[in-house]
Structure 1
């Protein structure tokens, strides 16, 4: 079934650039994504792995090591899509008990996470960015049921 998109590429979806290994950790169930500032966007986001290589110390963290075991860490590519459903300021373990939650930052709550079978090379930006129609089309080829 061909995807039905009624809005141009970046009008219904945004890109979020996340450094590795955190981007791959999201594919493995990491939630929330920690950010220094709040986000007003709600809806679908392309999960873009940044180009910076992770440090060995981060890769040795037990939580990270467990999440990324047997996974590749693509750089400079869209590796998945997710729905951003909430953003809240950390209010301690009573509000967010996830081991991934950092204190005194904003938590982006990502649901409906889909890993792309093949990473799509792309250049991201900070904070959220509008993807091109071409990039959205490449992602929709791999996740044809994704709808605005």
Structure 2
């Protein structure tokens, strides 16, 4: 199945994440914390929001993950597969240092960074990307398919 025959946005969603957290995902953060559960499973565009969480830059875990990386704002910077979403199960079961307590954990896998960020407008919840945006991402990741 080629990208041309795929229904617009039906196999992929977008997720907007504030910086520096979006770039941390590219650097091995595999848990994204959200206040509510997400029913979507599958590929997601990793969209960096336009706001920067400056306080997070002081976190040693974040600082280590960001070393040598740019913080692009308002752009799709990668893709990942959302494989699970579960409520916090405590530090004994949610062992990721990125997992926050008393929220839902979106578990990401197969993260792929785009060579060039693609400017885009996102939304706080899961959003359907335009076919044009998906095509721009697929140009940079030609092997990516549902």
Quickly name the TM-score band, shorter chain normalised. Answer: over 0.9
8 Å contact kept, 1:13–1:131: yes
Residue of 117, 138, 144 corresponding to 2:142 = 144
After TM superposition, list the pairs within 5 Å mapping 1:1-148 onto structure 2.
Answer: 4-5=2-3, 6-55=5-54, 57-148=55-146
Q: Secondary structure of the equivalent of 2:25?
A: helix
Deviations 1:36-95 (A, max 9, x none): 00000000000000001231x321210000000000000000000000000000011222
Write the distance in 2 (CA, Å) between the matches of 1:27 and 1:54: 17
Aligned length in residues = 145
Q: Structure 1 length normalisation: TM-score?
A: 0.95
- List alignment gaps of at least 5 residues for structure 1: none
Q: Structure 2 length normalisation: TM-score?
A: 0.96
CA RMSD of aligned residues (A): 1.0
| 4+ runs deviating over 6 angstroms | none
Shift of 1:9: 2.8
Q: Secondary structure of the equivalent of 2:102?
A: coil
Q: Secondary structure of the equivalent of 1:50?
A: strand
- List alignment gaps of at least 5 residues for structure 2: none
